Structure 1
Amino acid sequence: MKFSNKAKALVVAGFIAVASATPAHAVDLQGSGASFVDPLLQACKAGFAKATNHSYVYTSTGSGTGKKNADSSIGQFWFSDSAHTATTKRSTVFHAPIIAAPIAVLVNLPAKKDIYLSPETVAKIFAGEITKWNDPAIMADNNRSVTTVVYKKDAQGNAVKDKSGNPVVLRSGTKGIIYTLPNQPIKVVFRADGSGTTNNFTTWLNGVAPSVWTKKGNDAFTTAFPGNINASGNIGRIVGANQSQGIATLAAKTKYSITYAEKNWGDAYGLRAAYVGNATGNFTYPDSGAVSAFLGEANQDANGIVTYNYGTKVAGAYTLGIISYMLVETEYKDKAQGAAVQQLAEHILSPACSAVDPKLGYVVVSGTFLEKAKAQIAKMNK
């Protein structure tokens, strides 16, 4: 069968139309690292593919592995919840702080009641100094008057700020709480793998209760632990598991346990998030408004590394809010891959991703923090 010149022209035109409708150079990316960000990254895959025609696979391996993979150039992007400052970091790798969320103190208690824990109490529990749920310190935290603050929120769930940059209080109040806690041993579950969540959590413990948690934060809980974790009273009572899902699973199976992880893992496994005290003496819940109020007090240096103000006097700040870093390259050998990673970073930072499912509990980065994050992303793929 022979085609006329006109038919041939129509076929060619059809191929051109199909090619122009599909973005050229679609790229498949590979990433790895922090389990903290995994639920959000999985939820954002479809939106990213629709917007760019690119795809990615993210392997939740923990921040420690993410850093190691960045060192060895395994994949194109990596996530870590703690800054990568080791000498093994390649000079072309830098930090883009683009995902924000709270670390929740999660408990498995039979009563479906809110629990309140001061920073000192949390530190003593995880340090092995408080070993029973009906310890006088926990009883004191939960049988008293407490003040809570609720901020006015914007469409993304962040705290709305006034002209002076202060969060706008929607309402505040004081109430009496009564909670008779069980006479049961506390089972502590910690991250056994190298974890940026652990680094942030133990850094917070050292920052808010330095006389109790006397060591600096570390990716390894056993290294940051201020006493002898192998003491007879700790063996079998303080136990580890890998990754956020692992510790949430173990805590859910272990009555009278306590752990730390992203709040969405607690929601998924039936664990209750505690109200945690801050420097004002108020108790705050790990929601987006309280976290954004806290992160508004954080500083970001020229390298994108964030430092937190645990002593903030913002009344409703939840001081266990953290930023997760996307570790990326200034110089990608494959420029098409580099451009796709940059698009991915921009997508993750946008509300299209960060607000894709409010139930996941992530915070939309905003304000001056957003502008600084964008400036970091602009350094990519030069």
Structure 2
Amino acid sequence: MKLQRNGRSKALAIGAMALVSSLSLAACGSDNNTNTASGGSNGSSAAAAAINCGKAGTLLGAGSTAQAPAIDVWKTNFGSSCSGTTVNYSGGGSGAGVQQFNQGKVAFAGSDFALKPADVDASKAVCTGGKAIDLPMVAGLVSLVYNVEGVDNLVLDGPTAAKVFDSQITKWNDPAIAALNPGAKLPDAEIQTFHRSDDSGTTFNLTSYFAKTSGGAWSAEPSKAWKGKGGQSANGSAGVSAQIKQVKNSIGYAELSYAQTNNLKSAKIATGAAQPVEATAANAANTIASSTVSGTDGDLALSLDYGTKADNAYPIVLVTYEIACDKGNKAETLDTLKSFLTYTISDGAQKSIGDKGYVPMPAAIGDKVKAAVGTLA
């Protein structure tokens, strides 16, 4: 059993290294409107890529706050290369983004969870002759961020974390937490939990992990709306992160990019692997590389392995989708939409967000996205 686990771990590690090392600058297309972006808001020349700008104008998007830092980098690169073109993206959460898309208010939406059948049906009213599809664009992880004085290397597992966020465990020195953290100076203090107040794909991914790994401790179905008992709420990942930074003995959840920006500590996860797994982009890449496409009829929704026990595979991963019409996009924004999405899935654009805590999309999935974007009409 140990040999099999180690072998799988090595295979995953090699795959992740190959995934990262294979990234190179790539052209998003070329014609008379092609320009070159040189660097982005992260100051990295790795963001440079040839961009087919399409028609000048304003492209509107909304939704996931998990992908907002990535979109900030991309829209700056795209806009600086394409004179007269502006990409405006407002957060508000995945639920709000999908709602605005289905109301025809934005050209694309960002969502941390795949569209539900009801959402697809509703999209047909704005996607004339077509429907909305999921295009996986931003990969990352959900970090369990905490602020506990004197605790620098907190370890949690699925059952314990689920009980903490459901108010079944209320003290930091609870025996279940102590058993996972031998030698740690856990305070005899009340746990202050924070969750998202808005409908959120980040919440959906976290609760999907709980549903898979908590052994029944988390009784609710995975949901974009928070279903746990107790705790305090905050709007968006930025709001949760700000609360964790300010409130002692607190714990919440946010994407790694927000944990890094706010200098927050992230818990390691005991998955059944040889060692608890750190919340790093490289460890998330091991899990995301094993994902498969579960969508049908042109939809590229992914199936993620929240219950992975492979060494160096962080389990609480997420993929943010760009939601767009496969047919029936507005004529005045179609060219710009295709150009922008073609750029964002390019190797150069994916590499440009690496230092924001994101994971480059695996090449096998990225190729499918590139092909799908090319057929949008």
Please, what TM-score do these two structures have when normalized by structure 2? 0.79
Partner of 1:99: 138
Partner of 1:194: 199
CA distance in 2, matches of 1:322, 1:116: 20
Aligned 1:51-66 pairs, distance under 5 A: 51-53=81-83, 54-66=85-97
**Residue 376 (1) aligns with residue 372 (2):** yes
CA distance in 2, matches of 1:266, 1:111: 18
Partner of 2:289: 296
Partner of 1:360: 356
The counterpart of 1:35, out of the listed 41, 46, 65, is 65
Number of residue pairs aligned between Structure 1 and Structure 2: 317
The counterpart of 2:115, out of the listed 67, 84, 95, is 84
Partner of 1:209: 214
Equivalent pair of 2:151/2:186 in contact (CA under 8 Å): no
Change in 2 beyond 3 A, CA 1:55/1:239: same
**1:72: how far off?**
0.6
The counterpart of 2:325, out of the listed 303, 326, 329, is 329
CA distance in 1, matches of 2:54, 2:171: 61
The counterpart of 2:235, out of the listed 239, 242, 246, is 242
Structure 2: runs of 5+ lacking an equivalent: 1-31, 36-52, 125-130
Partner of 2:167: 128
Partner of 2:43: none
Partner of 2:266: 273
Partner of 1:174: none
Partner of 1:73: 104
**1:281: how far off?**
5.2
The counterpart of 2:176, out of the listed 121, 130, 137, is 137
Alignment-mate amino acid for residue 204 of structure 1: Y
**1:120: how far off?**
1.5
**1:115: how far off?**
1.2
Q: Deviations over 1:24-59 (max 9, x none)?
A: 731210100011000111122221124444320100
CA distance in 2, matches of 1:44, 1:20: 18
Alignment-mate amino acid for residue 111 of structure 1: G
Alignment-mate amino acid for residue 288 of structure 1: A
**Residue 263 (1) aligns with residue 268 (2):** no
Q: Deviations over 1:46-90 (max 9, x none)?
A: 211244443201001100101101111111111010112142431
CA distance in 2, matches of 1:185, 1:81: 31
SS at match of 2:284: helix
Equivalent pair of 1:279/1:310 in contact (CA under 8 Å): no
SS at match of 1:220: coil
Partner of 1:3: none
SS at match of 2:352: coil
Partner of 1:305: 301
**1:127: how far off?**
1.4
The counterpart of 2:276, out of the listed 256, 280, 283, is 283
Equivalent pair of 1:95/1:376 in contact (CA under 8 Å): no
| Higher gyration radius (CA) | 1
Equivalent pair of 1:61/1:243 in contact (CA under 8 Å): yes
Equivalent pair of 1:117/1:277 in contact (CA under 8 Å): yes
Equivalent pair of 1:119/1:209 in contact (CA under 8 Å): yes
Q: Over aligned residues, Cα RMSD in angstroms?
A: 2.0
CA distance in 2, matches of 1:79, 1:261: 16
Partner of 1:173: none
Partner of 1:111: 150
**1:21: how far off?**
8.9
Please, what TM-score do these two structures have when normalized by structure 1? 0.78
Equivalent pair of 1:98/1:326 in contact (CA under 8 Å): yes
**1:369: how far off?**
2.1
Equivalent pair of 1:279/1:311 in contact (CA under 8 Å): no
SS at match of 1:104: strand
Change in 2 beyond 3 A, CA 1:128/1:52: same
SS at match of 1:200: helix
CA distance in 1, matches of 2:300, 2:74: 23
SS at match of 1:87: helix
Alignment-mate amino acid for residue 164 of structure 2: I
Change in 2 beyond 3 A, CA 1:20/1:258: closer
SS at match of 1:48: helix
Alignment-mate amino acid for residue 47 of structure 1: N
Alignment-mate amino acid for residue 323 of structure 1: V
CA distance in 2, matches of 1:263, 1:193: 19
**1:354: how far off?**
2.6
Equivalent pair of 1:350/1:364 in contact (CA under 8 Å): no
Change in 2 beyond 3 A, CA 1:335/1:246: same
CA distance in 2, matches of 1:61, 1:28: 19
CA distance in 1, matches of 2:347, 2:333: 23
Partner of 2:42: none
**1:333: how far off?**
4.7
CA distance in 2, matches of 1:21, 1:309: 39
